[in-house]
Amino acid sequence: MRRVGTVGGHTYEFPTLVELLAKATPARSGDVLAGCAAESAAERVAAQTVLADLPLATFLDEQVVGYDEDDVTRLVLDTHDAVAFAPVASLTVGEFRDRLLAWAAAGDEASISDLAPGLTPEMVAATSKLMRNADLVAVGRRTRVVTGLRSTLGLPGRLASRLQPNHPTDDPLGVTASIVDGLLQGCGDAVIGINPATDSPARTVALLELVDEVIGRYGIPTQSCVLAHVTTTLRALEQGAPVDLVFQSVAGTQPANRGFGVTLDLLAEARAGALALGRGTVGSNVTYFETGQGSALSADAHRGIGGRPVDQQTLEARAYAVARHFEPLIVNTVVGFIGPEYLYDGKQVLRAGLEDHFCGKLLGLPMGVDVCYTNHAEVDEDDMDSLMLLLGAAGCTFLIAVPGMDDVMLHYQSLAFSDVLTTRSVLGLRPAPEFEAWLARMDLLDDAGRVRELTADAPAARALLAAASA
Amino acid sequence: MTGPDRLPRAEGDVVDATDRLSRAGGGDPWAVLRSATRARVALGRAGDALPTARELEFRAAHAAARDAVHQPLDVDRLRTALGELIEVHSAAPDRATYLQRPDLGRQLAQGTSLPRTDADLAVVIADGLSPRAVHEHAADLVTALLERLPGWSVAPLVVAIQARVALGDAVGAALGARAVVVLIGERPGLSSADSLGVYLTWDPRPGRADSERNCVSNVRPPHGLSYAQAADTVAALLGAARELGASGVVLKDEGPALPAGAG
C-alpha cells in the first residue's frame, strides 16, 4: 500500500515506515543533522496525516530497525504481550491518541497503565508525534507506574528528586556538603546519585561507601547510586560494595549500546548481582537508566531498515524498551545535555522532555527528567521553569537537582534544589511518603508540611550536621 | 582528572570528614557547607525560590558564557597582534547554523582557496564555541608556541570563522602542511567562559578521526594552563609526532586523550 498524504494541494509520498515516522516528527535540529527531517511544514503535517491512519498493529509486522540485525528489536517483539495489547489492537495511531485522551479525561488510570506490556516503542513514539504538549501532559499524569526500593516512587500527588552532589575531584567533603545542602531542601527521595569524575572501581567503591554511610547515619529512606559504567559496578559488587542501584546509560539500537560498552546480558548479570544483596525495604527495583534523544546519532548508530536514518525521538523510545526489561526503580532522560545540534532551543527541549516522559511512562517506566541545558544552546532558566512545571503537572516520577543549578563536575546547568520545592508547592505535590516522614522526624517540615526555610542557627540544620559528626 | 589519592572507606573517615566540615565552618552550618566545595551550596531561599542576590550571581555567570559563545571573532584584533593572517570561513554561514550543524563547521566554505606551501606546520586559529577565549589567549599562545619550534617551516597563519576542530584538516591539507595545530575556543562553562583548546593532527586531511589527534585543554591563565606550559606540551607533542609520523592515541602517553564531544 502506498502511503500518500496531501496537504495544501501538494501530495507527499512516504515510501518507508522509517521515513514516515521521521517526517511526522515535530521539528528538531538532530533530525535535520541526520538528514531525515521533513523538508517543509506541509510535508510534516502530511506525514502526520498518514501516520494517524496507520493501524497500530502495523508496528508488529513492519520494523523500523531490522529484527535480524538488532537485539533491541528482537527484545521488543519477542516479549510483546498480545493480551495486554488486545484492548487497542484494532485502533489506528490517531484513534489510539483519541482513546488515550478520553481515558485520561475520565481519570481511568488502569486502562492506560495496563497497556504497557502490549505497546512497542514505535507505537508510542508514533502516537506522541500526533500529540500536542498538553496531550502529553494529560495522558502522562494518568499513567501510573509505581516502583520501590527503600522509598516508594510514582504514587499520585508525589514528586521525588535525585540529589546530584557531583564534585570535580570526587572529594568526600565536597560531595558530603552538597548532599547535606540537598537534604536540607527536601531533595534526594528518588536517589542520591553521583556521577563520578573518573570511572575507576576503587573510587566507585569509596563513593558508594560514603553515601551508604550518610544514609545509614541519618536513617534516610532512600537509595544511593554511583553512575559508573555497569562493568565498574560489577567490579564493585564483586568487592562487596554496598550497591543499591546498578546504573547504565542505554540507547535504542544495538550498535549504540555497543558504543556504550553494554549488552543485554551484561545488564542482566549486574541486576542479578544487586538483587542478590537484598537491600530493599519497600520494593526490589534495583536498576537505574539514563537516556537522551540524539545519543544514537552521536554514536553514528541511528540507522534502520535500508540504512535509512531513524528520527531521534523514535530511537529514544526504543531505549525505554531496553530499560523496562530490567524493571528499573528510576529512568530519566537527560533532555538538554547533548547540545543544540540535537535540540536547538527552549521550544525543542521542552517538547522533547514532555515526549520522553510520556513515552517512558506509557511503556511502563518510572520516568524522570533531568531538566537541563548547556551554554551553547538557545535555552535559559525560563525554559527550564516551564519544563519543570509542566513535568510536575504531567506526574513526572522525579526531577534531578544540583546545588544552585550549576553542576561543577559535568559543566552544565540542571535544576536547583529549591526548584523541586517550587514545583511541589505550586502544584501541591509531596515527596515520597517514607522520605516525607523522615523529613518530619528531622524537624525539617513546618506545620503545613513545607520544607522549612532555615536560618543559620536552625536546630534542624545543626541536627543534620551534628548527626554526621557525632 | 586529578583528585585525592584516598577517599573514605570506612565509617571513621566519614566522621572525620564531617568533623572537619563542622570545624571549618566555626559552627555556622552555612559556612560549613560553603567551605567544602565550589558547588553553589547554602544559597538560602526566598520562599521556595532563590534569593535575589544568588539569582543574579547565577545570571551573570550564564550571561558571560552566552556572550562568549555569540560574540563574533575580531580578526583585526588578531592581525594587530600577529601580523598578516589568511581568513577562511567554514561552510556554516552564521552562528545559528554553526551551532546546529557541526558537519558544516568541519568543511571549508565553497570556493575557498589556499596557497600550497609544503610547510612543516600550519597553525589555525578557530573561533569554536568561545571567540572570547581566542581574543584573550590565542595571540600569546601562538607566539609562545612558535618560539619553541626553531627549524620548523610554518605556513601563513590562518584564522577560521564558524569553525570546528576538524576544519583544520581541510586547511592543513590545502596548505600542504605536514602537521596542523588548531587553537579553538572551548565550550564555555559557568565558571570558565574563556578556555582555549589546542589540537594537533599529523598529516592532516579531511576524514581524520578524533582518535588521530592530541589535545591540550583549558589554556586560560591564571586559572588554567599558562601559555608556556601549553606551548611546551604542544611543542613536545609535535616533536614526538614528527618522529613517529603520526599523532593521536599512539602518542597518548605524552598527551591527554581527546575529551568526549570535542569534535
Region A317-333: mean pLDDT is: 98
Interface test with B, best of A32, A181, A208 (most B CBs within 10 A): A181
Looking at per-residue pLDDT, the higher value among A460 and A324 belongs to A324
Give the Cα separation of B119 and B125 in Å (integer).
17
Nearest chain B residue to A460, by CA: B29
- Chain A residues whose CB is inside 8 A of the B59 CB are 381
Q: Is the pLDDT of residue B72 over 80?
A: yes
The distance of Cα A28 from the centroid of its chain, to the nearest Å, equals 19
Give the Cα separation of A360 and A377 in Å (integer).
25
Give the Cα separation of B240 and B118 in Å (integer).
20
Facing residue for A404 by CB, picked from B8, B58, B129: B58
Per-residue pLDDT, A467: 46
For the purposes of burial, counting CB atoms within 10 Å of the CB of B13, is it exposed (0-12), middle (13-18) or buried (19 or more)?
middle
Q: What pLDDT digit, counting tens, does each position of A217-263 carry? A: 889 999 999 999 999 999 999 999 999 999 999 999 999 999 999 99
How many angstroms separate the Cα of B9 from the Cα of each of A205, A223, A224, A337, A467? 8, 18, 16, 32, 19
Q: What pLDDT digit, counting tens, does each position of B156-189 carry? A: 999 999 999 999 999 999 999 999 999 999 999 8
CATH homologous superfamily for the domain B70-251: Ethanolamine ammonia-lyase light chain (EutC) (3.40.50.11240)
- Chain A residues whose CB is inside 8 A of the B40 CB are 403-406, 408, 416
**Is B36's CB within 8 Å of A173's CB?**
yes
**Is A33's CB within 8 Å of B103's CB?**
yes
Region B88-96: mean pLDDT is: 97
**Is A203's CB within 8 Å of B48's CB?**
no
All structural domains of chain B with their residue ranges: 12-37, 70-251
Grid look-up 567544602 returns B36
What type of residue is A114?
Answer: D
Grid look-up 505497546 returns A119
Take residue B3 and report the three cell numbers written for it: 583528585
Facing residue for B3 by CB, picked from A170, A406, A413: A170
Per-residue pLDDT, A2: 84
Say what the pTM is. Answer: 0.91
How many angstroms separate the Cα of B254 from the Cα of each of A453, B224, B240, B247? 51, 19, 9, 11
* Contact between residue B262 and residue B256 where contact means Cβ atoms under 8 Å apart: no
- Chain A residues whose CB is inside 8 A of the B44 CB are 453
Residue A31 makes CB contacts below 8 A (sequence gap 6+) with A22, A25, A37, A311, A312
Grid look-up 537491600 returns A279
- Chain B residues whose CB is inside 8 A of the A203 CB are 3, 7
Residue A36 makes CB contacts below 8 A (sequence gap 6+) with A18, A19, A22, A23, A308, A309, A310, A311
- Chain B residues whose CB is inside 8 A of the A378 CB are 99
* Contact between residue B78 and residue B138 where contact means Cβ atoms under 8 Å apart: yes
Confidence category of residue B250, pLDDT binned at 50, 70, 90: confident
pLDDT above 90: percentage of residues in chain A: 92
**Is A422's CB within 8 Å of B48's CB?**
yes
Q: DSSP 3-state assignment of B212?
A: helix
pLDDT above 70: percentage of residues in chain A: 96
Q: Is the pLDDT of residue B144 over 50?
A: yes
ipTM here: 0.93
What type of residue is A240?
Answer: G
Q: What pLDDT digit, counting tens, does each position of A449-468 carry? A: 999 887 656 666 666 665 44
**Is A422's CB within 8 Å of B17's CB?**
no
Beta carbon pairs, A and B, within 8 Å: 190
Q: What angle do CA A181, A436, A274 make, to 5 degrees?
A: 80
* Contact between residue A295 and residue A338 where contact means Cβ atoms under 8 Å apart: yes
CATH number (3.20.20.70, 3.30.1360.120, 3.40.190.10, 3.50.40.10) of A147-441 reads 3.20.20.70
Q: Is the pLDDT of residue A321 over 70?
A: yes
B83–chain A nearest CA distance, Å: 31
- Chain A residues whose CB is inside 8 A of the B33 CB are 177, 180-181
Q: Is the pLDDT of residue A205 over 70?
A: yes
**Is A170's CB within 8 Å of B7's CB?**
yes
Q: Is the pLDDT of residue B262 over 50?
A: no
B243–chain A nearest CA distance, Å: 32
